[in-house]
Structure formats: structure tokens, C-alpha cells
Amino acid sequence: MVRHNVYFWLDPSLTDEQKTSFEGGLRALFEIDVVAGGSFGKAAATPVRPVTQNTFDYALVLEFDSVERHNAYQVHPEHDVFVKDFGPWFKEVRVFDTQF
């Protein structure tokens, strides 16, 4: 299994309507046939500690049954649509992939 963790820092000038649209785009990624499961959320308001990073706006977690399915997702047309539609809103993106 591969867990694909993506952290998004968005353009701070985005409207609430744009953020709602972004969330819809995240949800659409769950429907891609090679995705086994997923979820997304916003940074938790946990106490500040030296090891805590909670300055991101959204975190996306997708799960894949194999590295091959993860790789197929990366070139999937629907993934490309998400990046094309919402990429201009990204101030920064960080990806952490883990294999289990």
C-alpha cells in the first residue's frame, strides 16, 4: 500500500467560494479508479510545538494498493484536470509518500 500525503498552502486571496470549489476538486480525486481511498482536511488548531507544522491550508491523503497504481494516478487525466484547474491557486505544495 502507498499513502500519498499532499499538503497545500493556497493563495491567501482566495474567496470562500473558491475554497469550496477546491474542496470539490479534492473530492473528485477520490473517484479516480486507481485510488483505493482518501480524505482531506484543514490544519488542526493543536498547540504550537517545535516539531509541529500546521501552517498549511489543506492536507490530502490518498491510498493506493500498489506503487504502480500510485504511478498511474500521477499521469491520470483527472489528476491532470485537478492540477490544471487549481494549480494557479497553489502557493506551495509538499508531497510525502509512504509505502506500507
How do the domains of the chain map onto residue ranges?
2-43+65-94
Q: What is the reported pTM?
A: 0.94
Fold that domain 2-43+65-94 belongs to in CATH: Alpha-Beta Plaits (3.30.70)
Cross-strand pairs, 10? 90
- CA dist 25 and 37 (Å) reads 15
- Tens-digit pLDDT profile for residues 28-59: 999 999 999 999 999 999 998 999 999 999 99
